[in-house]
Amino acid sequence: VRNEQVWPLTFDGEFVSHERAAVLWRALVDACRSQSGFSIVYIDHLNRGDNLRAWEPGYAAHPSGTMAFPSFRCQPEGWLHLPSILEADGAGKMSMSFERLEASTRTAVRMLDNTIGISGFPTKGFQRDAVRVRCLSIGVAGIEEALSSCGLHADSDVGRQCLGQWLGKIKN
C-alpha cells in the first residue's frame, strides 16, 4: 500500500484484472468493519507490542484476528466469551465481573499451558520451540454483545475505554 504497488487479481487460477494495493486494502478494511466488528489485525502494531518480536515476528494472522503468528508457530489457542462473564446488579444492570474475568483468565492460561506438555507436535523443531517459548493465545468473543449488554457502544470513547479495562485484566 505504502509503495502504491499494483496487484494482479486472479480467480480460480485465471487472471481477472490489476488493482492498486490501496484500493484493495480499503475494500478489505470496509468489508471487515461492515461484517465483523473488531476483526482487523494490524501486524506491525502487534509486532511492536510483542515482547518476543526479536526472535519471532508475526507474519500472518489467524482468520479470526486473534494473533499474529511467526512462520513456524504451533501454539494452543483458547477463547473467553465475555458476555458469559457479565453479572447483573440488583436493578438488572449488567457489568463485567472482574473477579470472574481474572479467574477465567487464570484457568484458561493454565489449561492452555498444560496442553503444551501433552501435545503431539508435527516435528521436533515445533516441540522444542513450543516448550522453550510456551506461547499461547487467548482471544475474546462477544465483544459487541458484552458492551451492548452493559449499555455501551463499541464505537464510543466510553465503550473503547471499558473494553481496554477488560482486555487489560486479561493481559495482566
Span 12-49, pLDDT tens digits: 889 999 999 888 878 876 766 665 544 455 555 556 66
Give the pLDDT score at 57: 62
Which amino acid, 125? G
pLDDT tens by residue, 58-85? 555 555 544 445 545 566 778 889 999 9
Integer Cα distance of 151 and 113 in angstroms: 35
Q: Looking at the DSSP assignment, which residues form a beta bridge with residue 78? A: 138
Residues 6+ apart with CB under 8 A from 53: 47
Q: Which three cell numbers stand for residue 84?
A: 458469559
How crowded is the C-beta side of 86, counted as CA atoms within 13 Å? 23
CB 62 within 8 A of CB 77: yes
pLDDT tens digits for 84-112?
A: 999 998 888 999 999 999 999 999 989 88
The candidate with the shortest Cα–Cα distance to 37, out of 123, 153, 124, is: 153
Distance of CA 96 to the CA centre of its chain: 20
Coil, strand, or helix at residue 113?
helix
**Grid cell digits, residue 158:** 466510553
Q: How many CB atoms lie within 10 A of CB 167?
A: 14
pLDDT of the residue at 9 = 87
CA distance between the termini of the chain = 34
Q: Which residue has the higher pLDDT, 116 or 83?
A: 83
